[in-house]
A and B are shown apart, each in its own frame.
Chain A
């Protein structure tokens, strides 16, 4: 498996706190990696470390399997926090600055990028007159200059209208599909993130607490009867033998998830109780992806 990004025990300490705490992150080449966390969890710091804006306190970063980060970062396009733009210049001039910075010979690259992000009609307008959404699009255009292999986008759909969000989503999906660009992005609009990403990482208090694929997430979000028992006892026998339920799984904390006969909660409860299994709770569970993320991030706080 080829990785676009691998970090090993990456640490960034700010006075008095860990912003990034021994993070081992793996982003497979070609993936769209959705990075999730509350404000201040360490998402932006992690992205700043990857893009070279911040220096790690310890640990290592490999980009495309290499530790020569400056060389590999030439293959990256980044937009961290807010798009870094020159307000007194036009969009074209802003792109021109970065076209020159990257040494891109093709002058039409500027027009091409403006067209890709839907700003072709506003290219001659000064950036200070742009709306937040337009600035975001221009920031993405700058990140896309030079046909990067790896995009790092921090909250790229912030401030975009619904149409803009859809455009950016389609653009990112297209880039990933057609050009095999790896995308590492964070967003607070989790519903939107779930439409784009195929792998996720959740960060909390600087620690990467979970990494999973879209398929794993779908599985975790399936609707089920979640039954919390005092002890496991003979509950599995009751389910299989007495009730004929085979589609279930067992979680470590004496919890069962039953994926069939969801309408028979009362009957299942009664059968378990009759067999001396003390049921602490039984509830229909399952949510959309956003709900799952919120539970995961919020739940871990307690």
Chain B
């Protein structure tokens, strides 16, 4: 297993896709911060309040009031890094290339014939992808801190900032582990790089809409049932928990969602890898 991990990390740091995704992460962060700068320059506080209310009302964003705030600095922008799905999309695309690419180029055959158990091969892939996703997130956060500080300044550090930030990062890392796990499982099931990227984009673009439709159907059929499936979609939970003022219920929801996505994805991915032939 340690040999497999060593090989995985070697591949990771030689992977062109990893460096492209890392650069894209930095680029997405810069675009995000420049957008805030533009908002701060163009909009008056009254206009932002009105826009925020309008967007929340139309369901376009779950955290409109936070996006359209009037004071921008590193402290206020940092939690917002996770609200858009750019982090998750990049993790998903990288995972598709890193995991499914092994099947597409046939390298998985060479690894699988080296006498390691299927479980160790899958676990090493799972761990290395999770580490890669965390590295991407850390780079996203670091670039947010750097560029937000350059453009807006760091801002006043409120009391309890360190503990709030620690909890926030814990939840975000657990949730991003869930995201990377989900896409490792999808890549293991699909085993085709092009297919995986298409599914990734499809999931990011259409799944929230499909889940909302399912919610509507459930509400229509079972009006007494207080169930919202879309609120458990991991990207939605990432956005919900993108705040330094995490309530205990939100904290629990974030951690449980991340852990469950990780566990289920591992089980499904490992079972598929264990049973299916490698082509």
Contacts and interface: CB of A to CB of B under 8 A. Distances in A.
Interface in B70-129: 105-117
A81 B106 contact: yes
Interface string A26-64: 000000000000000000000010011111000000000
Nearest to B107: A84
B3 interface: yes
Interface string A68-94: 011111111011111111111100010
Interface string B1-33: 011101100110011100000000000000000
Interface in A136-182: 139, 142, 152
B277 interface: yes
Count chain A CB atoms within 10 A of each CB in B2, B6, B109, B114 and give the residue with the most.
B114
B34 interface: no
B106 A73 contact: no
Given A48-B277, A81-B106, A101-B4, A86 B113 contact: no
What's the dominant secondary structure at chain A's contact region? mixed
Contact of B277 (A53, A72, A82, A83): A53
Contacts of A93: 10, 14
Nearest to B101: A86
Q: How many interface residues does chain B have, given as a range?
A: 20 to 34
A52 B115 contact: yes
Contacts of A70: 115-117
A189 interface: no
Contact of B107 (A55, A71, A86): A86
Contacts, number: 91
Nearest to A128: B105
Contacts of A152: 113
Contacts of A139: 110
A80 B113 contact: yes
B278 interface: yes
Nearest to B104: A87
Contact of B113 (A71, A78, A96): A78
A104 B243 CA distance: 48
A101 B111 contact: yes
A101 B107 contact: no
A74 B15 CA distance: 26
A84 B3 contact: no
A84 B15 CA distance: 16
B113 A51 contact: yes
Closest 8 CB pairs of A and B: A73-B115, A84-B106, A84-B110, A74-B115, A103-B3, A100-B7, A51-B113, A78-B113
Interface of A: 48, 51-55, 69-76, 78-89, 93, 96-98, 100-103, 139, 142, 152
